[in-house]
């Protein structure tokens, strides 16, 4: 199936597909093996910084290799492209999905560049999944002491339909009280679910995306899926599981020098996070 067909199936089936960001092959191994065990479609995400580290062509080749081996429906998404050039590089490299993040731009400029990016993506591959963003998410993929959500951050309902129609996007990342990263108590602010419901009614044809899924309560996640969220991004929880487990192994076995032994626990800890999220999102057993 194409990326759009995978998402359409999720939309019709009322479940969400997890996007799990990676920057190492060990993280990729953990995500895909967990998805295989649970028979779930999966989205692999790489931000601009993550692509720079792992290599953009290398990410495409690695995902293709895994896909051939396990036979999973896997979407490879270029997450948070901040410029047209960044998106173009990912499209040309063979990513099956691309996200242009114009959330820091004025509305008209966001529309203009997103439309340009959509037209280029579709000219190269009509089946590529293209995602735009409307509204502003505070924070980054790390641990925060506290983040305050402001009303002006939220996706504006009156702009939503215009944005979707003018840009031609397949997916829309919304700001409904979600943040990037997690607060120190791992309990992020509650979502504005009424706003999500209004957005879904305004643009029922697009795939709605929830960025900043790490730290969001299970109750809010379940309700968000009921209200139309089809894709949920997880990054910070994976990073925490990965880095803490490596530190734990090194402290316990300070003389160990074999990377595959040091990283073994990290792979298992990342798998735990992925399994939990896949089960929560309802995508288990969907292939």
C-alpha distances in Å from residue 25, one per residue of 30, 35, 58, 281, 286: 9, 15, 10, 24, 25
Q: Sign (positive/negative) of CA torsion 248, 253, 254, 255?
A: negative
3-state helix, strand, coil in the chain (%, to 5): 50, 20, 30
Number of H helices, E strands in the chain: 12, 10
Q: Sign (positive/negative) of CA torsion 105, 107, 113, 119?
A: positive
Contact present, 190 and 196 (Cβ < 8 Å):
no
* Token duo for residue 216: 């969001």
C-alpha distances in Å from residue 284, one per residue of 49, 227, 249: 30, 19, 30
Give SS3 for 263.
coil
Q: How many CA atoms lie within 13 A of 95 on its CB side?
A: 30
Task: Please give the positions annotated as active site.
Answer: 79
Quickly tell me which residue has 């993506």 as its tokens: 121
């Amino acid at each position: 199936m194409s990326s759009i067909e995978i998402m359409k199936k999720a939309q019709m089936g009322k479940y969400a597909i997890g996007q799990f960001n990676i920057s190492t092959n060990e993280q990729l191994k953990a995500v895909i093996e967990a998805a295989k065990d649970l028979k779930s479609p999966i989205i692999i995400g790489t931000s601009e910084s993550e692509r720079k580290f792992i290599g953009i062509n290398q990410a495409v080749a690695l995902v293709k290799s895994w896909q051939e081996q396990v036979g999973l429906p896997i979407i490879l998404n270029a997450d948070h492209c901040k410029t047209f050039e960044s998106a173009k590089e990912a499209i040309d490299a063979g990513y099956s999905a691309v996200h242009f993040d114009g959330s820091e731009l004025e509305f008209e400029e966001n529309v203009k560049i997103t439309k340009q990016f959509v037209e280029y993506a579709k000219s190269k591959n009509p089946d590529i999944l293209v995602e735009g963003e409307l509204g502003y998410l505070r924070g980054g993929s790390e641990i925060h002491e506290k983040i305050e959500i402001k009303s002006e951050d939220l996706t504006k309902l009156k702009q939503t339909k215009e944005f979707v129609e003018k840009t031609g996007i397949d997916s829309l990342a919304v700001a409904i009280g979600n943040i990037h990263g997690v607060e120190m108590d791992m309990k992020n602010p509650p979502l504005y679910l009424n706003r999500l419901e209004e957005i879904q009614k305004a643009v029922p044809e697009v795939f709605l995306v929830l960025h900043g899924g790490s730290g969001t309560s299970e109750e809010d996640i379940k309700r968000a899926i009921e209200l139309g969220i089809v894709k949920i991004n997880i990054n910070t929880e994976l990073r925490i599981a990965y880095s803490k487990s490596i530190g734990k192994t090194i402290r316990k076995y300070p003389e160990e020098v074999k990377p595959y032994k040091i990283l073994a626990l990290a792979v298992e800890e990342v798998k735990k996070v992925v399994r939990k999220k896949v089960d929560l999102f309802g995508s288990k057993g969907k292939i």
